[in-house]
Chains A and B, each alone.
Chain A
Amino acid sequence: GENVEQHPSTLSVQEGDSAVIKCTYSDSASNYFPWYKQELGKGPQLIIDIRSNVGEKKDQRIAVTLNKTAKHFSLHITETQPEDSAVYFCAASPMDSSYKLIFGSGTRLLVRP
């Protein structure tokens, strides 16, 4: 079955700097890769996702890149702000069964003012 590894487990950056979180996956059948942000005491919220027919997707300060050959995908946050501080999870699944996501173990991002 699918296995998703996520690094780093914690990341501390200065406000205004960029943050990068990386994930690798094992199942070549996976072609849907969402990223979720989880704030303390809340459920995960989707921030961006990518499907395997594209290599990169941007939404304002957030971007995700996908390398299907190497089976890895990354989240990039530019111009970080204190409100970006949260736990971020990557996940993977085949597109036709994205209700069965396999999650990475999470990255705790701290943005220092």
Chain B
Amino acid sequence: NAGVTQTPKFQVLKTGQSMTLQCAQDMNHEYMSWYRQDPGMGLRLIHYSVGAGITDQGEVPNGYNVSRSTTEDFPLRLLSAAPSQTSVYFCASSYRRASGDPDTQYFGPGTRLTVL
């Protein structure tokens, strides 16, 4: 298994440009999440999904869109990039335990985004 993969690793955008950060997992996990990490801060939840076709907002959703058309993929879209979106973005996934609770989240390697 490749685990959680993210592309690209690095990206530089100009203000107003759009782009999609890709996230894929090959573990058949139901749950997937997007976080951003800023210097001196912990990770903050942007959006999450509890299964294909189901998404919801986290702590800091403004400026980002997501969709979950398949179990494997959970892309994060920036519609009009702003300098405040300069950050490192992490995708994570987890499976549903026999108890019904989600299991531990496994994180991808991250995408470092700079918006000029």
Contact = CB atoms under 8 A, between A and B. Distances in A.
Contacts, number: 68
Contact of A104 (B31, B42, B45, B90): B42
Interface stretch (A14-22, A37-45, A54-62, A68-76): A37-45
* Size class of the B contact interface (CB-based, 8 Å): 20 to 34
A46 B109 CA distance: 13
A75 to B, nearest CB: 14
A13 interface: no
A105 B102 CA distance: 23
A36 B103 CA distance: 14
Main secondary structure of the interface of B (DSSP, over half): strand
Contact of A44 (B41, B50, B90, B100): B90
B106 A46 contact: yes
For chain A, give the interface size range.
20 to 34
Interface of A: 1, 4, 6, 9, 34, 36, 41-46, 49, 89, 91, 95-106
8 contacts: A34-B104, A96-B102, A98-B105, A99-B94, A99-B102, A101-B33, A103-B35, A105-B40
3 cross-chain pairs, A with B, having the tightest CB-CB distances, nearest first: A103-B42, A43-B107, A99-B31
